[in-house]
Amino acid sequence: MIANTEGGVSPRSADPILRRVASRREAITPGDLEMATERTRDWLLAEQKGDGHWIGELEGDTILESEYVLLLAYFGREHEPVCAACARYMLDRQLPEGGWAIYPGGPLEVSASVKAYFALKLVGHSPEEPAMVRAREAILRAGGARHCNSFTRFYLALLGQISYDECPTVPPELLLIPSGLKFSLAAMSSWTRTIVVPLSIISHFKPVKRIEPGRGIDELFVDGKKGHAHQSEGFLSWSSFFLAGDRLLKLVDRVLPGRWRRRGVKAAHDWMLDHFRNSDGLGAIFPPMVYAILALDCLGYGADAPEVVQAWKDLNDLRIDEGDRTRWQPCVSPVWDTAIATIAVSDADLGDEAALARAGEWLLDREIRKAGDWQVRRPGIEPSGWPFEYRNEFYPDIDDSAMVVMALLRSPEADSPPIQAAIRRAATWLLAMQNRDGGWAAFDADIDNEVLTKVPFADHNAMLDPSCADITARVIEMLGHLGHRAEHPSIARGLEYLWRTQEPEGCWYGRWGVNYVYGTWQVLQGLAAIDFPTDHPAVVRAADWLESVQQDCGGWGEGCDSYDDPSRKGQGVPTASQTAWAVLGLIAAGREGGDPARRGIRFLLETQAADGSWDEVPYTGTGFPRVFYLKYHLYRIYFPLMAIGRYRVAVSERANQSTPALATRVPARPLPFD
């Protein structure tokens, strides 16, 4: 298959390196594999921190820089040097036609473009500058600022560009709805909760910072229309119901005195303060951290209040300065990076026990032992799990927790009582977090009420936290490493979920990585860990699909556009991380001896830099499909190392005519939980 790049150029001829790779067909020697493994292993070990953990940059799009500038503008600080540094970074990321995309090679995205334009204007860029003219014209061609999403509209209201009447109402009374009801805060995804609570305080107080004449963005509204361009779904629909409710709330707001909302505001205030505890900011992610600062200001906290000082520190800890440019991370990923790096170094199998032991000790210390929001759905379960970030006590991550368990099994101290106890607690917790449909989600159980996706502030495409194939397969993989097989009741239910969600072509949707290559790799790896037959029709179809989307250069690539256009499954610029996923999937399917796997490894060997790293421009991580994408800067390192390491083991066993064993298998251990 010839897969076009996101810019429309065929990878067959786009890059001389890829042409050279495509021309190489000779056998791969054990020496080739060992040399490549050592180089990447050395690169990765050099990046390990003294206390044993790894952390790579987590890169998003320019909404982070623009929202930071807009936040500072609310406090009258838009002329600080950091804002100019953010502006330079944003201009570097501007599309040639004028707007801003949410991933490299992507099309203009209206909300990101409006915020970038507004931020640049506030910093001092003239609307007559060529870059600003191009941006304005591109935004107007896309329909103008009226088409911004709800969360962008709150920034515009905050700075006086639209009325709060033109934003969805976020009532603080949400916190008063009993958690067992379908429309309660507890029925929303964890990340939505952390955004909605401070936003409900802002929605109540309606703060406005007036911008001096000439610095606003009236010119971005076509014909002066500023109301949200809601898409009608018919009179008798949930969206119409919620829009009517929104209008009613706005009317009540104007008629009744502010004290009628006192209980709701107090509940939101208390919830927010409680969730600051033992976390790197509210939710430990950028959007709620910004809203928390604004909410504290609305509530009368002074700039020197401890809560405000800490909130600003947590936000600024995400800052990266590079020369005269400043960019922001959406959050940090040390637990995730450390777990995967540990597994990859173990797969290299080059005697790095000391590094693995340090990583295991660091991970063990990060286990969460206090109950978080998940206990609303699963009361009475002993707390366990790991966060994605350094600290996020209320939100242990199911995906991270499964990956950490597999990393701890690779530690030289895996049989020690502390690690065995942690694995037992985590496995018990993960089994309890299985959804009623048989799958697993990211943070909670059974957050799947589709009606909530119709509320007016749900256009961030992340209102729910439903089951997904990649996390379901990750938990199954972990259970396989703990000795369980397909007959285990939880695995059996998980498998039924996977069979229901397999695409007609044989692939699986990737919720947390781009996209079908990611999902298919993870499912195949999960199946292999439970010794699932490789001749099963579902496995055969999945492996066939992976082979069908391999490019002539030997690599695999898939663009973020496959979320918008499923016909683009498996098509895009080839990358090191996605090639590694595909090769790992083929190894898991028992096809390590085939030509596609060999060509994939050859692609990795030939594109590896002298220092053991790989270059990777496309984003291969997913935050919210169709809304926010991520570039994990270590994906290009530890996943190729994992693929090459496992390929070495697999082909060696095949050459020695021994019984093939999955390269991910750890030594057999007694089940560490009941």
What is the DSSP-derived secondary structure letter of residue 443?
S
For residue 72, the SS3 value is: helix
Dihedral of CA 18/20/25/27: which sign? negative
Cα gap 569→545, rounded to integer Å? 10
Tokens standing for residue 589: 């399917």
**For residue 621, what is the enclosing H or E element?**
strand 621-624
481, 442 Cβ separation under 8 angstroms = no
Closest C-alpha among 174, 170, 183, 164 to residue 228: 164
381, 453 Cβ separation under 8 angstroms = no
Q: Radius of gyration (Cα) for the chain, nearest Å?
A: 25
Q: How many CB atoms lie within 10 A of CB 182?
A: 10
Burial classification of residue 551, based on how many CB atoms lie within 10 Å of its CB (0-12 exposed, 13-18 middle, 19 or more buried): buried
Tokens standing for residue 544: 């066939």
632: β partners: 58
**Would you state the torsion angle of the CA atoms of residues 643, 645, 650, 654, taken in this order, to the nearest 10 degrees?**
130
Cα gap 669→663, rounded to integer Å? 16
Query: Active-site residue 399, yes or no?
Result: yes
Q: How many CB atoms lie within 10 A of CB 267?
A: 18
Q: Of 347, 399, 446, 552, which is the active-site residue?
A: 399
Cα gap 395→282, rounded to integer Å? 11
513, 621 Cβ separation under 8 angstroms = yes
Strand 319-322 vs strand 628-632: parallel, antiparallel, or unpaired?
unpaired
Instruction: Tell the residue number behind the tokens 């953010």, with chain if given.
Output: 86
**For residue 628, what is the enclosing H or E element?**
strand 628-632
Dihedral of CA 7/10/11/14: which sign? negative
Helix and strand tally (H, E) in the chain?
24, 5
What is the DSSP-derived secondary structure letter of residue 561?
G
**For residue 332, what is the enclosing H or E element?**
none
Q: How many CB atoms lie within 10 A of CB 357?
A: 16
Determine the longest span between alpha carbons in the chain, in angstroms.
81
Residue 93: partners with Cβ closer than 8 Å, 6 or more residues away: 61, 62, 100
Which residues belong to the active site? 399
